Structure 1
Amino acid sequence: MPGITIGDTVPNLEVETTQGRFKLHDYFADSWTILFSHPGDFTPVCTTELGMMAAYADEFSKRGVKLLGLSCDDIASHNEWIKDVEAYSGGHKVKYPIIADPNREIIKQLNMVDPDEKGPNGQQLPSRALHIVGPNKMVKLSFLYPATTGRNMDEVLRVVDSLQKAAKHKVATPVNWKPNEKVVISPSVNNDQAKEMFPQGFETTDLPSKKGYLRFTQV
């Protein structure tokens, strides 16, 4: 797949948004950022998603996470569309900027081009893509959905919590993990180090291999 992916630095593009023109790295600053694209303004699934992003904005803000949307329509269209989004979302305000990309150049550089879908004029459309960008401006996680399937904002929030916990401690989150549940200690941490790093203790799962690699702790 062309374009940026996990581990790549997001290019410092200059973008025009509903909140003015800026360079991406200036907007990111030293924060976590969710950069998400939509196939088009005034489309049903996108309207529900932007509304839910607005509804979850305070939860993301508590975690120091900024939001930045993208659709290929122009600024005038975005501003009109926001009225629909806010009405649908029960009055939650769209406080985050939305990038305009009428020439379809930015979506190519951000790996947000749908490989199949095209607009009425034959132009490429953005995919329903989402990059979680770390404070170092590198992509930490990416979601890619077809135009027919809306994202689950609870899952986006969950993976933000997972990424931030992994960045702070040498841990990973196991299957179906939720905040406040136990995490697993990285295999790069030996038991002596684990005793120092996790004074609260940890549990080693007894497996047939007798390899003590599955260690759970609470952080």
Structure 2
Amino acid sequence: MVLVGKKAPEFSAQAVVNGREFVEDFSLNQYKGNKYVILFFYPKDFTFVCPTELHAFQDKLAEFESRGVAIVGVSTDTEQSHFGWLQVDKGHGGIKGVTYPLVADTNKTISANYDVLAGETYYDEDDMLQSEGELIAYRGLFLIDKEGVVRHQIVNDLPLGRNVDEAIRMVDALQFFEENGEVCPANWSKGKEGMKANHEATAEYLASH
């Protein structure tokens, strides 16, 4: 499912914020009209690639916040699992020091609605519910604007960690477009020039060929 250009699916779920506080009804509505959101999904707590990503987002959190961006992580683990992992030092494979919200998608509906849920369920010949593969989240990332619209998405398979600097670049590109009305060419980065989309010239060219 491609969500770009569509409203980001809404949800209300348990979460852990500030590394220690439980929130019962966490949702993205609190950011609407005020902040951009990077919503990212990861497969499991207490794993190997996942903590490198979570710490990478934390290391760049000030850069995101300076751009008016909230970071929110999601996995299909429970809020208790999130909390426990947050108490473990980085040197022992934990994510202590992560302060942005971690959402508990324990019923898998958030991952399913964002179409990042790995594995499938089916009923066998005895009408028993079965699953093929683990029902965990792929490494999905969604850039959501202040109006709640998805403007960028990327989904990595489970073994492939993301580039957090690329997420920052996409925020910069979106904000540059919103502020200047110019589009961003390949390999654009903050500080470079954009391009003006000349629709009239394009229409004239097409009409003459």
- Alpha-carbon RMSD across the aligned residues, in angstroms, is 2.6
Moved more, 94-103 or 55-64: 94-103
Aligned to 1:214: none
TM-score (norm 1): 0.76
Contact 1:42 1:81 in 2 (8 A): yes
Aligned to 1:26: 30
How far apart are residue 32 of structure 1 and its match? 0.4
How many angstroms apart in 1 are the aligned matches of 2:154 and 2:92?
24
Aligned to 1:186: 197
Question: 1:142-196 deviations in whole A, cap 9, x for unaligned?
Answer: 0111111100111111111011101112111111111111111122477xxxxxx
How many angstroms apart in 2 are the aligned matches of 1:154 and 1:22?
26
How far apart are residue 93 of structure 1 and its match? 2.5
- Local SS of the residue matching 2:45: coil
Letter of the 1:150 counterpart: G
**137, 143, 148: which one aligns with 1:132:** 143
**15, 18, 42: which one aligns with 1:17:** 15
**131, 134, 155: which one aligns with 1:144:** 155
Moved more, 90-99 or 143-152: 90-99
Letter of the 2:113 counterpart: Q
TM-score (norm 2): 0.80
Contact 2:116 2:139 in 1 (8 A): yes
Letter of the 2:85 counterpart: W
Q: How many matched pairs? A: 186
Letter of the 2:197 counterpart: S
Identity of aligned residues (%): 29
Question: 1:76-121 deviations in whole A, cap 9, x for unaligned?
Answer: 11012123475579998311111001121111112221358xxx99
How many angstroms apart in 2 are the aligned matches of 1:126 and 1:22?
19
How many angstroms apart in 2 are the aligned matches of 1:90 and 1:115?
26
**66, 81, 87: which one aligns with 2:85:** 81
The runs of 5 or more residues in structure 1 that have no matched partner are: 191-210, 212-219
The 1:169/1:92 distance shift into structure 2, 3 A limit, reads farther
The 1:76/1:121 distance shift into structure 2, 3 A limit, reads farther
How far apart are residue 23 of structure 1 and its match? 2.7
Ranges of 4+ aligned residues in structure 1 off by more than 6 Å = 88-92
How many angstroms apart in 2 are the aligned matches of 1:91 and 1:107?
22
